[in-house]
Structure 1
Amino acid sequence: MTANKAVGPTEAIADFVQQADFSTVPVEVRERALAAFVDTVGVAIAGHGDGGFQTLLSTMRPELPTGRATILPTGERTSAMMAALLNGGAGHALDFDDVADQIYGHPSVVLVPVVLAVAEEVGASGRDALTAYALGFEVCCAIAATMQVREHYQRGWHSTATIGVLGATAAAAHLLRLDHTRTRHALGIAASTASGSRQNFGTMTKPLHPGLAARDAVLAAKLASNGFTADPAQLEGPLGYLAMYADSADPSAVARALGNPWELARVGLNVKKYPCCYNTHRTADAILDLVRENPVRPEDIAEIRLTLEPDGFDPLIHRRPQTGLEGKFSPEYVLAAAVLDGKIALASFHDEAVLRPAAQQLLRRVSRHESAVPPIGSGEWEFAYSVVEVETTGGEVVRHRTDVPRGDCRAPLGRDDLEAKFRDCVTFAGTGLDADKLLDELWQLETTGSAGPLLNLSASS
């Protein structure tokens, strides 16, 4: 599936979608796509009780048509567009969904809601769904590589949505069997919807971003399927997507990147062990390991000095969080919760947990620092690092450094850990679903035919 032609990105992606076939997707890619489905369905179900999701659901409920697509947290059926919107919002509500370093964002929370909704609506097979996910992931990575995604992110864009909408549109185009021309139009339509501001991190609007991107991807593909048009070279045009969203870009790089090699096999995904911003995970592991090895009472801590790589605090915009949502983007709170509770769990991000006087007092003793050279250990680091130094009131200093957090693609969670996370998510939702039945169903996705909905949540309780 290597695209070697010197063509623009819109055409290259359309070529890639047309060539996609389950038999040509590497086995490792299929396996990782399946694991991504399992993880994303679990975290979306866990979002059931989140205030943001419940507000989104109650707002949209009067508009919900009947349909074949599953709303994961409730088991209801609706149209593909509405299911994609609601599942994307639920899947990101707890910030527990996976991360891809290549796109500096969360691919599966846009891709899985789109793939699941469209596949259920058109009666596609599980194999079709996994193929659509895999090619959508590749498109996200190729777009991110050509546009220098870190610069895009630093300008304030939430790349989960701005890039995810294009990958998800490619996935939907595959499931809807769009021809080459209509796939290009779908991408052009989707490019005009790309949005998402990082200023809204720590609010209900951040989880809305992937929901809107998922909905817009379905809309773009459906419009194109009915003859709706867009510029067939939108992505590379002088006023197009790359010109608007990238400081610098090499449009020809997309054709070279797609499936050459498959990014899901080359790098993989980072599966979250903690329900908070991924940039806090190294810090969470560092402080949890530190306090296990060096038990210290919160009242004996004079200062916690946190050092990250340059720009490592970019998404961590809350220093004095007052809500659970803000706490997910506050390394100060993550450090305080880890010290106080000895763990970071779903319940760590209830508002009342963040507002505990002990947590509010301790997080004020955290100082932030950035350095290209870590203060301890080797001067080399691959993607990022976190060094936590705890100084006690008696003047003792203990330190710990983490470069690769648990669940990272370089230290992946095993199937047992993934299933344990899924069960925790289903239990946390409190909806009475049978997690083991759902897991059995999900792990068999590759053999699921096209008889109807891919999941049967209503029969799992």
Structure 2
Amino acid sequence: MDSQRLVQKFLTSQVSEKSLQIAKAALFDYLTVSLAAQSLETEQLKTAYKEQLEGTSLLIGEKGLATKAFSALHNGFRAHLLDLDDTHSSVRGHPSAVLFSALLTELPYHSGKAFLASYVIGLEIMARLGMAVNPDHYLQGWHNTSTLGGLAAAGALAYLKQMTVDQTLHSMSIAASQAAGLQMQFGTPIKPLHAGLAAKQAVEAVAMAQAGLAAEKDFLFADRGFRAVYAPKLNVAPLLEDWGKSWQVNQPGLWVKSYPFCSAAMSGADAAEYLHQKEGLREDEIAGVEVLFFKGRDQALKNRQPKTGEEGRFSIEYIVWLGLTGQEYSLDAFSSKALSSALRRQLLKVQRTYQEGSSDEPFVTVTVNLTDGRKLSQQVTYPKGSPRNPLTEKERRKKFTTYVRGPWAKPLEEKIKRMEQEEGDSLFSFLQTINGGKTDGRTCD
């Protein structure tokens, strides 16, 4: 096999109506988490790129426009900043933060339906690449959101812009040469920056290819290419097997979060909350806690002794302790503020244990040993927000109103529902009226 077969396959694909509907829900969630992420870090990014704050492309939650490259960087960074954005199990990463951020740079120039279809194609590429390279690629320490996201976003843009096979190969090859992102950054602002960099790389790669810049076309399988360097154990079969029979956006589907922390902690968090609600646990009643994972499934939860709430996004010890003791999974709980020494001592009570083997439905079990000798345990396989236990439409809207100021939930939802019947510039104009949850004087239509 060579890379051209993959490109030819997705450039000629037609996505299903069901996939387009799921893409709309994904876009609503992407905009929710992006609008929620107003922070010092986004201002720092704008300061670093101040010369790019004039252009034609949208900055989510901001009045101004910017260059396409900075729009993709800013929006990808912002979408992933709170770790509240969706994930996908085949990817082992965050697809929407990268894909939508790249595609938004082209929104005014294409139909709403073409925009949504391109997202579905991008997710398909990213997920199939994930199935091909995982688990080894991820366990080696790469951040798949970034390493796979730039490739997939370049493919999605090529599909949207109806580029030729050769142009697409050059685009994806240029993106492949920029693939990067290390898991050591989990718990720092550089993790979400990976998503922005991937989106920016895709936008720039497509622009360079359209300008005629040529690259090695077989980016996946060439000597010293992507497979050789990033994924020596790459499994070719998932790249094309049963293409189009069931889109990855449908099956297995997206994980949509209610809380701003790593999805690897969602099952443990649900188990901890359940035990607190059932037993009304207090800190002084808890002698010790064990969290059982399938081996390797806690890879992203690298911070066993977090020093800040931000590091706590990737700490099952911190997240489970909050849940067991009835504390809210609020944005403030996962801020850059330092955790108290007393709380950090309590986290030492939480220990991880492991089960050998693998499972397509890996559960997490939280067991609490109480000071009176009792033992409580709760196992969760499908946490709230996972594809088999999805958020309802009402819960998605509640997520928006919880994290975003202003009366935008229903108007935005209605605008996205009409996307298939409208040109992309209609949504583009609407999004320009939203500035951090406040209107800049224009009205919603």
Same fold (TM over 0.5): yes
Q: CA RMSD in A?
A: 1.9
Alpha-carbon distance, 1:90 to partner: 0.5
Shift of 1:216: 0.2
Classify the secondary structure of the residue corresponding to 1:267: helix
SS in 2 for 1:256: coil
Give the 3-state SS of the residue equivalent to 1:407 in structure 2: coil
2:349 maps to which of 358, 365, 368? 365
Q: Which residue does the alignment assign to 1:61?
A: 50
1:70 matched to 2:55? The reply is no
Tell me the alpha carbon deviations over residues 306-348 of structure 1, each in whole angstroms, 9 at most, x when there is no partner.
1111112211111121122201001111122223344323232
SS in 2 for 1:48: coil
Q: Deviations over 1:102-134 (max 9, x none)?
A: 0111111111111112223xx111111101101
Equivalent position to 1:355, from 339, 348, 351: 339
Preserved contact between residue 336 and residue 359 of structure 1 (Cα < 8 Å): no
Q: Residues 126 and 454 of structure 1 are in contact (CA less than 8 Å); yes or no, is this contact kept in structure 2?
A: no
1:273 to 241, 246, 258: 258
Q: What is the match of residue 120 of structure 2?
A: 134
Secondary structure of the residue aligned to 2:328 is coil
Q: Secondary structure at the match of 1:275?
A: coil
**Equivalence for 1:405:** 383
| Worse-matched range after superposition: 331-340 or 101-110 | 331-340
State whether residues 448 and 454 of structure 1, in contact with CA within 8 Å, keep that contact through their aligned partners in structure 2: no
Q: Which residue of 1 aligns with 2:394?
A: 416
Q: Is the 8 A contact 1:288 1:343 kept in 2?
A: no
| 1:18-68 CA distance string (max 9 Å, x none) | 313xxx31122111111111111111111122x33232122222332321x
The answer (yes or no) to whether the contact 2:53–2:65 under 8 Å persists in 1 is no
Q: Which deviates further from its counterpart, 448-457 or 284-293?
A: 448-457
Counterpart of 2:22, as a letter, is: R
Specify the alignment match of 2:175 in structure 1. Answer: 190
Q: Is it true that 1:13 corresponds to 2:6 in the alignment?
A: yes
- Give the stretch that moved more between structures: 390-399 or 437-446: 437-446
1:239-278 counterparts in 2 under 5 A?
A: 239-251=224-236, 253-278=238-263
Within a 5 Å distance, the mapping from 1:18-167 to structure 2 comes to 18-20=11-13, 24-49=14-39, 51-67=40-56, 69-120=57-108, 123-147=109-133, 149-167=134-152
Is the CA contact (8 Å cut-off) linking 2:301 and 2:316 kept in structure 1?
yes
Is residue 385 from structure 1 mapped to residue 363 from structure 2 by the alignment? yes
Letter in 2 for 1:19: T
Given that residues 11 and 233 in structure 1 are in contact (C-alpha distance below 8 angstroms), is that contact kept between their aligned partners in structure 2? yes
TM-score (norm 1): 0.90
Tell me which residue corresponds to 1:376: none
C-alpha separation in 2, matches of 1:156 and 1:204? 17
Shift of 1:252: 5.7
Distance 2:23 2:256 in 1: 12
Structure 2 counterpart of 1:442, one-letter code: I
Give the Cα–Cα distance (whole angstroms) in 2 for the partners of residues 452 and 80 of structure 1: 18
Question: What is the TM-score with the length of structure 2 in the denominator?
Answer: 0.93
Going from structure 1 to structure 2, the CA distance change for 1:326 and 1:26 (only over 3 Å counts) comes to same
CA gap 1:252/1:278 in 2 versus in 1, 3 angstroms: closer
Quote the Cα distance in structure 1 between the aligned partners of 2:105 and 2:197: 14
> CA 1:57–1:257 in structure 2 vs 1: closer, same or farther (change >3 Å)?
farther
Any idea what SS the aligned residue of 2:87 has?
A: coil
Aligned 8 A contact 2:416 2:427 in 1: no
The separation in 1 between residues aligned to 2:425 and 2:351, in whole angstroms, is 56
Go from structure 1 to structure 2 and tell me whether the alpha carbon gap of 1:324 and 1:57 turns closer, same or farther (over 3 Å shift).
Answer: farther
Q: CA deviation at 1:450?
A: 4.5
- The aligned amino acid for 2:404 is V
1:443 aligned partner: 417
Q: Following the alignment from structure 1 to structure 2, what is the Cα–Cα distance between the partners of residues 119 and 448?
A: 11
Note if contact 1:284-1:344 (Cα within 8 Å) is conserved in structure 2.
no
Q: Which amino acid aligns with 1:270?
A: W
2:196 counterpart (203, 206, 211) = 211
Count of residue pairs brought into register by the alignment = 435
- What is the identity percentage for the equivalent residue pairs of Structure 1 and Structure 2? 29
Distance 2:76 2:336 in 1: 22
Give the equivalent residue in structure 2 for 1:377. Answer: none
